[in-house]
Each structure stands twice: as structure tokens, then as C-alpha cells.
């Protein structure tokens, strides 16, 4: 998901680390919180590998083996109720390490697909392209969002009290989307669980139309960890609901 843009980025005002599993959703840090003569990537790597500063109050360096992946143009709703592009950083090997999905971040990215908070129209943004190619499980593990100087922070309230329901709730396409794409394609585009089916490229090329498949949102794809279970309980899921999720491989 790394972005190859060479454009120089503005200086960072804040880092927002969005936790995949901790009950405390957000940790906010600034460049001044880190040792002098360290740069943005040092800060990001430290935030992604250390839960908090050390006993001496200093953030520690990340292991040399840790590799950061990034995306520079994810649209998130800001606290000014407008969408803005933010740089997002994560563990490049999150899937290999079987990290838990980051439901909070996924909900923020999913909300960012929509042009309004009523969620009836999507546009051709990076968020939407990711959904169409891989479904709505955008991020695994903790994610750091860099907030540049001059930007407002991302709005962490867009998913309400339950980020999973925010993603999986039913949204209907606007009339403008239906007029542009037709009802069937508009439904595919707006749905959180419909992605391109690229398994039969010959048919796609022959018919000149993209095929779609069901891509359900995964809550605990590598098994229900204790930390994920505790987090779901804080979102008012019951023990029985969590047991069924785990049994059915959600």
C-alpha cells in the first residue's frame, strides 16, 4: 500500500496512533515528545513498536527489523467536518504477523469513502479503490496518522460507539449514483462487502464489464484473541455474540 510519491510533505503537527486492540483508542504525540535529532520515520517506527515512552520518559527506537508501510492519500473526515488526505503508517508485515484488524481505523477509512456523512455517495478516492480491490479490511495492527501543520486532526467520532457496525451497516446509493452507474453497479460500489472478482480475467475482457464478488468484513480472521474479545465487550457485544463470531470464523 506504499505510495511512491516524491512530493515533499509539510512538517508534522501531531501523530495520532489508532490502536487495533487497546481500550484506549487514541494516543496523541508531537515531534517534541521524541529525542532531538530524530525524524518523522523514527517517530512513526517508535510509535508502532512501543506502547508508551520508557521509564525515563523517552520513546525508544524501533527494532532494526521493523519495516513501515505507508499510504499518503487516505481520505479521513476531519474535526472541521470536511474530508482531508492524511498520511497513514503501519507494520508492513501486519498480515504475515497475523495482527488483529484495526476496526477503528477501518471505520474511519470506510467513512472517508463517502462524500457526505449521510453516506449515500462515494467518489473515486483511494479509500474507494482499496474497497473495490480488497474489501473493507483495510488495516491490521496499530496505525499512525500524521497530521501536518495547518491541518485539523481526524475525527475519531465518525464511527460512533461501534466501529464494526459503522462499517457493516446498510447504506443505499443516492439517486445521483444510480443515474451515473445504474442501480446494480451503484449498489456494488457503495456496499462495504463487494469487491472486484479478478479470478476470470478472460470473461472480464470478453464482456468488457467488471465482475464482483462477496468480500465479507472480517472481525477476527486469525481467531478471537483475548484483547479483541475485551475490546468487543467494551463495544457492547455479548459473550454469546463473540462466541458465535469465533465459531463461524468471522
Task: Please state the three-class secondary structure of 97-145 as a single string.
Answer: CCCCECHHHHHHHHHHCECCCCCCCECCCHHHHHHHHHCCCCCECCEEE
2 pLDDT band (50/70/90 cuts)?
A: very low
Which whole number is the average pLDDT over 52-57? 89
What is the pLDDT, as a whole number, of residue 6? 43
Domain encompassing residue 73: 12-170
What end-to-end distance do the CA atoms of the chain give, in Å?
Answer: 24
What is the pLDDT, as a whole number, of residue 5? 43
Residue 212's SS3 state is strand
Element (H, E) at 2: none
- Is the per-residue pLDDT at 249 higher than 50? yes
Q: Which residues have CB under 8 Å from 30's CB, separation 6+?
A: 12, 13, 14, 15
- Does residue 211 lie within any of the structural domains? no
Which whole number is the average pLDDT over 146-162? 95
What is the pLDDT, as a whole number, of residue 65? 94
What is the percentage of the chain residues whose pLDDT exceeds 70? 96
- Does residue 221 lie within any of the structural domains? no
The predicted-structure confidence for 118-142, as pLDDT tens digits, reads as follows 999 999 999 999 999 999 999 999 9
- Does residue 98 lie within any of the structural domains? yes
- The number of distinct structural domains making up the chain is 1
Phi, psi of 71 (to 5 degrees): -140, 130
Helices 103-112 and 126-134: angle between axes, nearest 10 degrees: 120
- Is the per-residue pLDDT at 10 higher than 80? no
- Does residue 127 lie within any of the structural domains? yes
- Does residue 76 lie within any of the structural domains? yes
The predicted-structure confidence for 200-235, as pLDDT tens digits, reads as follows 777 777 787 888 999 999 999 999 999 999 999 999
Amino acid at each position: 500500500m506504499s505510495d511512491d510519491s516524491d512530493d515533499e510533505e509539510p512538517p508534522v503537527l501531531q501523530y495520532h496512533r489508532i490502536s487495533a486492540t487497546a481500550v484506549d483508542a487514541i494516543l496523541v504525540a508531537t515531534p517534541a515528545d521524541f529525542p532531538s535529532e530524530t525524524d518523522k520515520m523514527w517517530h512513526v517506527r517508535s510509535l508502532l513498536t512501543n506502547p508508551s515512552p520508557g521509564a525515563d520518559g523517552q520513546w525508544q527506537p524501533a527494532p532494526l527489523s521493523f519495516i513501515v508501510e505507508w499510504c499518503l492519500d487516505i481520505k479521513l473526515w476531519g474535526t472541521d467536518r470536511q474530508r482531508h488526505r492524511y498520511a497513514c503508517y503501519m507494520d508492513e508485515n501486519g498480515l504475515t504477523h497475523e495482527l488483529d484488524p484495526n476496526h477503528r481505523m477501518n471505520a474511519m477509512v470506510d467513512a472517508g469513502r463517502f462524500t457526505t456523512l449521510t453516506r449515500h455517495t462515494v467518489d473515486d478516492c483511494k479509500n474507494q479503490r482499496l474497497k473495490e480491490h480488497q474489501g473493507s479490511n483495510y488495516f491490521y495492527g496499530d496505525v499512525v496518522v500524521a497530521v501536518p501543520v495547518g491541518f485539523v486532526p481526524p475525527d475519531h467520532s465518525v464511527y460512533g460507539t461501534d466501529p464494526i457496525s459503522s462499517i457493516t451497516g446498510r447504506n443505499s446509493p443516492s439517486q445521483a449514483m444510480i443515474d451515473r452507474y445504474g442501480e446494480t453497479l451503484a449498489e456494488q460500489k457503495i456496499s462495504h462487502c463487494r469487491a472486484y472478482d479478478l479470478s476470470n480475467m478472460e470473461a472480464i475482457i470478453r464482456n468488457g464489464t467488471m465482475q464482483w464478488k462477496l468480500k465479507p468484513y472480517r472481525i477476527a480472521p486469525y481467531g478471537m484473541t483475548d484483547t479483541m474479545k475485551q475490546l468487543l465487550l467494551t463495544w457492547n457485544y455479548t459473550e454469546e455474540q463473540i462466541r458465535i463470531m469465533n465459531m463461524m470464523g468471522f
